[in-house]
Structures are given as C-alpha cells and as structure tokens.
A and B are shown apart, each in its own frame.
Chain A
Amino acid sequence: MRFSGWRVLREGLTGNKGWAPHWRDPEPKSEYDVVIIGGGGHGLATAYYLAKEHGITNVAVLEKGYLGGGNVGRNTTIVRANYYLPGNSEFYSHSLKLWETMEQDLNYNAMMSQRGIINLFHNDGQRDAAVRRGNSIVNQGDDAELLSREQVRELAPFLNFDNNRFPIMGGLLQRRAGTARHDAVAWGYARGADMRGVDLIQNCEVTGIDVKNGKVVGVQTARGPIRAKKVALAAAGRSGQVAAMAGLTLPIESHVLQAFVSEGLKPIVDHVITFAEGHLYISQSDKGGLVFGSYLDFYSSYAARGNLPMVEHTMETFVAMVPAVSKARLLRSWGGIMDMTPDGSPIIDHAPIDGLYLNCGWCYGGFKATPGSGSVYAHLIATDRPHGAAAKFKLDRFRSGVGLMDEEGTGAQHNLH
C-alpha cells in the first residue's frame, strides 16, 4: 500500500474503507539470519536498513510489548546535528541527512519539521563555547549561525529578556534541526521493514540468549526458542538486563529522564529552544502542547516515572525562561529509562561473543540518532565492520581509556551523565 495525495483523496471519497494494516503480525519462524532484540526506533530502523541497504531480509524484530511502546514513544521529538566532539559530530551529521530524506524514502509522513533549534547562551564563556561549537558544526558540513540578543528577540520575543541572573546574550541557531513525530518514525520504519520481508514480532519478550562455544546461536522467548546466526541488541534502557542474559556486564546504568507537555495553546514557540544555564529544552507540538524537559533524575531507576524534585526544578526553569507559561496547565509527564554510559556517548560494536552485536548507551540522545543508528548498526551487522560515521563508538574505550567521548566535558564517570 503506497501513500499519495491521490490515495488520500480516493479514500476520503469512499469512506476510508481501503486502508489496510501497516504491517503483518506473523508467527515467529524457528530460525532467522538476524534477530534484533527490541522493537523501538533503533531496532526497527536497523531492520529496515538491513533489508534495504544490505539485502538481508530473513530478519525478526522481537518486541516484548508493542512496536514503539518504549523510549521512541517517550521523548521530546527533537532532531539535530549540533555536536562538537569528533565521533559524535560526524555520526549526528550522518543521522540528520537521513532524517531529511526518510519520509520520501519510507513513503511515510513522519511530520519532520525543520523549524530550527536555538541554543541560548548567557555569559561570555558560553558565547565562546557556542562560537567554537558553531565553527565545528560548519566544518563538519552542517549549518550553524550565531545570533545576537536582538536577533534572538526577533525570533522568540516571549523569552524573558529581563532575567537579571541569566541574561540572554544570544544563541546558536541550527536551521536544519527541528522535530519529527516520534510514533510515526517507529511506524514508518516498521512498515518499511515489513514490506521488505522482515518479521515484526510483538508481545515476544526475550528471556534468554543461547551461547555455545563462545558463539551466539539463538534466543529463548515468551513464544518459544528462535535460532539465529546473529543476534543484535537494541533494548535501550533494558540493555543491561538483556546483555546479562548472555553473561555480559555492560558499562551502563539505567536512569529515568522525565518530560512534560502542557495543555494545548495557540502557536507561540516556533523553534526548539534550549536554555543553557538551567538546562531546559522546549518546543511546541503541532497540537499546541508545549513539550519540554530538563535533566535526568540522576540516580538509577527502572520506574519509568520520575520524582518530584526534578519536576520542580524543570517548572522553575521553564517559568524563569518563559514567564508567560506560568498560567498554563500541565497536561501530563512521563519518564523514559535511559541507558547511561560513563562518558555520555553510545556504544555500537561487536560484543565479546561471536555473532552478538551491541547498540546501547544512547543516554539522553537516542531519538535524534534513530535513522543514523539504524543505518550504521545494519552496516556493522551485515559487514562485520564499523560504519565510518560510528567508528568511535567502541565498547573497549572504557577499559582502555582511549577514545572516551565526553561530549559534555563533565568527566567520564557514571554519576555525571
């Protein structure tokens, strides 16, 4: 089933009776070439690119719940490539380019909106860092513009320019950044993978990983054993637990990151805006809700809900940044489980077990990585060599200390990320 303007018109005139399910609901086969554990954004994108770029279609994606019910359904939908550190910068640049073509590629409306991101700065040091980051972004081939305080005021007049403690000095703008409809991203990749023959198997929790003589041979699931030549993890916040089934201990702590959405309001926020001093990011959804979040709760958690101190901090920062929102009502909040590495950067690598692959440690930045992660992970699984854009996402960097990717410059230590 192809989507087109003509198809929408025809269905509209005939009672919308011609729409079919977007993917099959197959029974698991007894054996696959590749089994992907985790039916979120990254797992589905990986399956899609395995089929499309590498012709590997005897693939199953195993999801313990429903497709897109994990972190891809629990984020603030921001897409950007304004990274500084070598390793991360080329990866997110690769990912943003895929975001720009994915809707045509998938024939699916993911509501990709390049509304631009503005990272505000409030003092000389932050401005210098923004200039340096901007130059680095331009050098990697992406776009960055330094905005003065007056240029920011023109684009975002609702910000609090009278904040004495954190005056807005200017901002770094990336126009190609923006947002995408998170659920549609999962659905689009699911449909694309299914159309190419990938089996998407929901309600199928993996309960064991079978390893024989140092080589992975399959998985045990809630729907019976499945043999596989290659097994690929894409379990986000549950990566530690899935890896433990293969006897691996990862450099990962799972933490909760909360996000919030207000009641629907008329359009006020045109961009994605981040407030550096108190760490806050906001955008407005197409339904009108203000979508925002700030820090992690900063302690290990699988609760998928947060605690009140970070709620309070986030609200305080938001009102300091946009005083007008103090009268808006909060519609809901949610928490996603983040797989945090000691240096705040991801791992895409072979596991120390033959035929087992790792894609984890996305910390607070998994959504914007979705297409890039899928494409480089598929490359690794298909060719057994790392993709050029992800060559630095090595597992052994923590052990050796060589090539640590401390994007935030806070130190490579668990409780700092």
Chain B
Amino acid sequence: MRITCPLCGERDRREFYYKGAALVRPAEGADLDAWHEYLNLRENPAGPLDELWYHEMGCNAWLKVTRDTATHEISAVELASEAGLGGET
C-alpha cells in the first residue's frame, strides 16, 4: 500500500503512522457522550473510510486519507488542517 502525501508525493505505507477514523474533535466542554463517541465508537464501514495518517518518517503532516477498507484502494488524500480536522494551515 502506498499513500500520496500532498507535500512529499507517493510514499511507502511504512513511512506513516495510523491513527484511525478521521473524526472532528468535540469542542472544549462537550459532554461525556460526545467524547465517548469521538474516542471509542466507530462506524467501522466495509468500504470508503476517512482516516487520519501521520507522515512520521516524512514531513510530519497529519493527513486525511480516504481509503476503502475492503480493497485498500485510496481515493483521496489531503492535509488534515485543510480538511477542518484541526492543526495549523
């Protein structure tokens, strides 16, 4: 599996660290249910899934990767910061 980092180009999967589903972090002061949903509950689809990957052996960018969990096919990659998932732009 290879991931095309928007900053570095196509790289081996082993350069990246997997975080899991790309979910929007609850606001400060959000209730327990919101945090439970964010931290633990997962839609877990067999198909396209938005995920967070960290380019730890490259540019250190967090990426939002859209990957099919049934075929491993990657259809889109963008910087997490530009996808509204936090971090500096």
Chain A residues packing against B (C-beta within 8 Å)? 240-241, 244, 249-254, 298-303, 307, 309, 342, 398-399, 413-415
Contacts and interface: CB of A to CB of B under 8 A. Distances in A.
Contact of A303 (B14, B41, B44, B71): B71
18 contacts: A240-B44, A249-B42, A249-B43, A251-B41, A252-B44, A253-B21, A300-B51, A302-B46, A302-B70, A303-B70, A303-B71, A307-B72, A342-B40, A398-B36, A398-B40, A399-B33, A399-B40, A415-B18
Contacts of A342: 39-40
A241 B46 contact: yes
Interface string B1-39: 100000000001110001111000000000011001101
A252 B69 CA distance: 14
Nearest to B49: A300
Given A302-B70, A342-B40, 14 more contacts: A249-B43, A253-B20, A254-B46, A299-B18, A300-B20, A302-B46, A303-B69, A309-B12, A309-B14, A399-B32, A413-B39, A414-B40, A415-B19, A415-B20
Interface residues of B, number: 26
A92 B67 CA distance: 36
Contacts of B1: 307, 309
A301 B18 contact: no
Nearest to B35: A399
Contacts, number: 69
Contacts of B39: 342, 398, 413
Nearest to A396: B36
Nearest to A308: B1
Interface of B: 1, 12-14, 18-21, 32-33, 36-37, 39-44, 46, 49, 51, 67, 69-72
B68 to A, nearest CB: 9
B17 to A, nearest CB: 8
Nearest to B71: A303
A194 B5 CA distance: 54
The 10 tightest CB contacts between A and B, nearest first, are A240-B44, A251-B40, A302-B46, A398-B40, A299-B18, A399-B36, A249-B41, A302-B70, A414-B20, A300-B69
A34 B74 CA distance: 41
A105 B49 CA distance: 45
Contacts of B37: 249
B40 to A, nearest CB: 4
A302 B69 CA distance: 6
A186 B17 CA distance: 37
Contacts of A414: 20-21, 40, 42
Candidate in B41, B44, B46 with the most chain A CB atoms within 10 angstroms: B44
Contact of A254 (B32, B41, B44, B67): B44
B44 to A, nearest CB: 3
Candidate in A250, A251, A302, A342 with the most chain B CB atoms within 10 angstroms: A302
A163 B12 CA distance: 29
Candidate in B1, B12, B20, B70 with the most chain A CB atoms within 10 angstroms: B20
Contacts of A250: 41-42, 44
